[in-house]
Structure 1
């Protein structure tokens, strides 16, 4: 598991989005990227977070940001999620958990006394040169955009 910190070079990645297109971090060189990791499509917290980012998408673009969401759900799940809520940005299907592990967000979680492996909700702000500018580990799902901008 990676232990990334602010100032580190962001791990490069390549993945498939909800439209079946290959997306890579390299495509966003020269742009700021909001890379957010979330546990599961169509769950209350993940829906609130994604919709809050989507509601503020224009403001992000005006400031030169692109948004990319990553979860272990597959392309079909992402497509349904994006269609249902009108999400305007890429959602990467990381079913093999390669990107999740590269960013150190796949790990042990505890709920109701049980331990299991899952996604630790985290957002990375990556600058135009591919350097991690900010890491948000305590995500406010209902107002995540204001934590970023």
Structure 2
């Protein structure tokens, strides 16, 4: 997994739902200011719902601290639109079915489900500066208190 101080590749494509429309962008296009990328597995699952509900309730605090907030999963932008409507999400939801972000952050991990082994992204959070430098990583997030832990890390980074 990428470590703080390392720079990641940012020229990979993502589809995003920005609250108004679906767009295809390069990850670098989202770095107009520092970002927090919160990786989750799938819309409409209990842990992911807790994670995104926490973020939705505190989304404006990230902007107040000068950060863009991005939640990323493999779901389609059509699914993201419905999910955003359901949870009142006003931040960017990114669709990454090819795991481009996980490859850039070296965070593809082995997982097991229903007796099958596969590789998928780690449920983690990344603080990334405008030049692609990783400022911090939270490797195992607390889904219910996710926004609080991210905001605490931002305070650490800015003090």
Give your verdict on TM over 0.5.
Answer: yes
Helix, strand or coil: the match of 1:142? Answer: coil
Q: Which runs of 5+ in 1 are unaligned?
A: none
Distance 2:101 2:95 in 1: 10
Q: What's the TM-score once normalised by structure 2's chain length?
A: 0.82
Task: Give, in angstroms, the shift of residue 80 of structure 1.
Answer: 1.2
Task: Give, in angstroms, the shift of residue 104 of structure 1.
Answer: 2.4
Task: Give, in angstroms, the shift of residue 33 of structure 1.
Answer: 0.3
User: Can you list the C-alpha shifts for 1:50-77, whole angstroms capped at 9, x where unaligned?
Assistant: 1111111111111001111111111111
The answer to whether structure 1 residue 9 and structure 2 residue 11 are counterparts is no
How many pairs align?
147
Task: Give, in angstroms, the shift of residue 107 of structure 1.
Answer: 2.4
Q: How does 1:61-80 map to 2 (within 5 A)?
A: 61-80=63-82
Helix, strand or coil: the match of 1:138? Answer: coil
Q: What's the TM-score once normalised by structure 1's chain length?
A: 0.87
Question: Superposition RMSD on alpha carbons, in Å?
Answer: 1.9
Q: Which residue of 1 aligns with 2:47?
A: 45
Q: Which runs of 5+ in 2 are unaligned?
A: 152-159
Q: Which residue of 1 aligns with 2:117?
A: 115
Q: How does 1:1-149 map to 2 (within 5 A)?
A: 3-12=1-10, 13-18=12-17, 19-110=21-112, 115-149=117-151
Contact 2:13 2:100 in 1 (8 A): no
